Amino acid sequence: MKKPHFIAAVLLILSSSNLFAQRNTDIENGKDYPMISRFAGSVMEWYEVKNFDRYFMLSLKDNALDKYEIDGKVTRIQYSSQPEHSVFEIFKSYENALENAGFEILLTLDKTNCGINLSEQLYIGEFNGLNSLPAGKAIKPDFKEGEFAYLSAKKKITDKDVYIVVYITSWDWPLITFDAIEVHSMDKGLVTVKDLETDLSQNGHIAIYGIHFDTGKSDIKPESAQTLKNIAEFMNTHYEKKYIIVGHTDNTGDFDANLKLSFERANAVMNELVTKYNVKATQLRVYGDGSTAPISTNATDEGRAKNRRVEIVEQ
């Protein structure tokens, strides 16, 4: 009999080989996620962090269960609680804690609005992802889901979106799976001189993701220095050529404001290259495209991140 993986890139419920004998103390090296404390009295059964992974969030579309992907740093924690605590009690505790911490509640699911066996979908069905645990970690063969609750929430912290997913279900005692996803791009954006040479010669332009700005601003952050240095090195060895620096945004916010911001960011890059890295001003001109030239969908965080970029275009 094939064992279902204890997975769900959505929330990855774990059953350790010892889960049927409930732990009395936290698993070694585990720690609670900052901002959101555990349900009082619960014990940590599992702790795992992946610096970058894909993750599937659940949604309801036309009254049917759907999913969408986000990518970033994924922290997964599983707790067990005591039998006297109901799934609903634990759910309301997390919902209140997230709201008090300034999170937007995105979705709540239970048997009243989700007419399927959610565990079958999350453990062994179509919503399984790629982040499976070791093959020996399997749910009980005779497991049948009782009461459950699913909660997802989102908050922007500085310039990063943080998603929290909590899934509570009842076995012999309540099990709580807590996932935190800090959305970011796997590519750190550090463009090399070789990248510039290849992309500009083959495509006539290159998207740059290593130049960083605060949300809604055109001031260049210090961590952009190496990328700017590499661009300048390339341009200073191709001084006979001219380039357009083009700013791009996603479609969030006002169209005209984004158009203005994209130009201001492109202009800031040009000024930095000229004043700090000795690129000739005669080589450069700037343009702001706002949100009019996306290279990915604006319907997801990952897509919007790809659309927020500076491009170097060879004239």
Q: Do 136 and 197 fall into the same domain? A: no
Domain count, the chain: 2
Q: What is the pLDDT of residue 227?
A: 92
- Residue 174 is assigned to a structural domain of this protein: yes
Residue 27 lies in a domain: no
Q: Are residues 79 and 178 in the same domain?
A: yes
Q: Is residue 133 very low, low, confident or very high in pLDDT (cuts 50, 70, 90)?
A: very low
pLDDT at 7: 31
Mean pLDDT across the chain:
81
Answer with the one of 162, 183, 204 that is the final residue of a domain. 183
Residues 162 and 65 in one domain: yes
The region of weakest confidence among 63-67, 111-115, 276-280 is 111-115
3-state secondary structure of 306: helix
Whether 38 maps to a domain, the answer reads no
Same domain for 234 and 159: no
Among 125-134, 208-217, 270-279, which is the least confidently predicted range? 125-134
- 225 shares a domain with 122: no
Of 173, 178, 196, 202, give the one whose Cα is nearest residue 83. Answer: 173
Task: Quote the domain boundaries for residue 297.
Answer: 193-314
In a shared domain, residues 232 and 300? yes
Q: Are residues 205 and 145 in the same domain?
A: no
Residue 128 lies in a domain: yes
Q: Are residues 197 and 179 in the same domain?
A: no
Q: Which of 133, 164, 183 is the last residue of a domain?
A: 183
Distance CA 97, CA 153 (A): 11
User: Residues 203, 170: one domain?
Assistant: no
Kindly report the three-state secondary structure assignment for every residue of 163-188: EEEEEEEECCCEEEEEEEEEECCCCC
Question: What CATH number has the domain bearing residue 286?
Answer: 3.30.1330.60
Whether 168 and 274 share a structural domain: no
Whether residue 122 is predicted with pLDDT greater than 60 in this model: the reply is no
Regarding whether 174 and 52 lie in a shared domain, the answer is yes
CA distances to 9, 22, 192, 195 from 311, in Å: 33, 54, 14, 13
93 inside domain: yes
Could you tell me the maximum CA-CA distance found in the chain, to the nearest angstrom? 76
CA distances from 297 to 57, 253, 291 (A): 17, 16, 11
pLDDT over threshold 80, residue 165: yes
**How many Å from the N-terminal Cα to the C-terminal Cα in the chain?**
63
pLDDT tens, 38-81? 999 999 988 888 877 778 788 877 767 777 778 788 898 989 99
- Final residue of a domain: which of 183, 210, 227? 183
